[in-house]
Amino acid sequence: MPRIGTARVSTATPDLDIQTTRLAAAGCHVIRTGSGSSRTGCTELQTILDCLQDGDELVVHRLDRLGRSTRDVLNPVHDLDSKGAALRVLEPDVTTAGDLGRLVVTVLGRVADLELKFIRDRQRAGIDAAKAKGVYQGRKQQIDTNRIRELAAQNMPKAQIARTLRISRMSVYRALKA
């Protein structure tokens, strides 16, 4: 049974060493790497899914490297099932080759979904606390609202303002509304 490994990072400073080492130790002769916080735009994973055949096994270090939401986990599992291939997760050691393994992966996919929600909730709470202390200012403003107002005062159409300043029309409307 050929094992194909996939390693993915979702940070600006990727460190794939731990994942690729574990995948190689698990017998993966091919290891593809990619990045992204969700399956959308992850072309490496899609390439692997397109190439897998009956009897092949897709191997990931941890389930969150496959996807962060239940849908991001279950869609590839469905694709693998339809091809006669399986998914193996190394930590914890689970495979979708049997019915119990599919159930465990489904539950773990939901756990990954909840974990992402918890991360976002903690991030929001931290930002709110920093704002309350006056520490968090948000990112620097990219759009010159004064320039937008100047051009609007000259009766320039909003679409033309957007083209002139190379911003979206929605940004123009937001700036004029504020």
C-alpha to C-alpha distance for 168 and 143, rounded to whole angstroms: 10
Q: Which helix (H) or strand (E) holds 57?
A: strand 57-62
Strand, helix or coil for residue 32? strand
- The residues annotated as belonging to the active site are 10
Interatomic CA distance for residues 102 and 95, integer angstroms: 7
CB 127 within 8 A of CB 136: yes
- Please, what sign has the CA dihedral across residues 102, 120, 36, 16? negative
Distance between CA atoms of 69 and 67, rounded to whole angstroms? 6
Q: What are the strands of the beta sheet with 86-91, ordered from one edge?
A: 30-35, 3-9, 57-62, 86-91, 94-95
Contacts of 147-151 spanning 24+ positions with Cβ under 8 A: 148/172, 148/175, 148/176, 149/175, 149/176
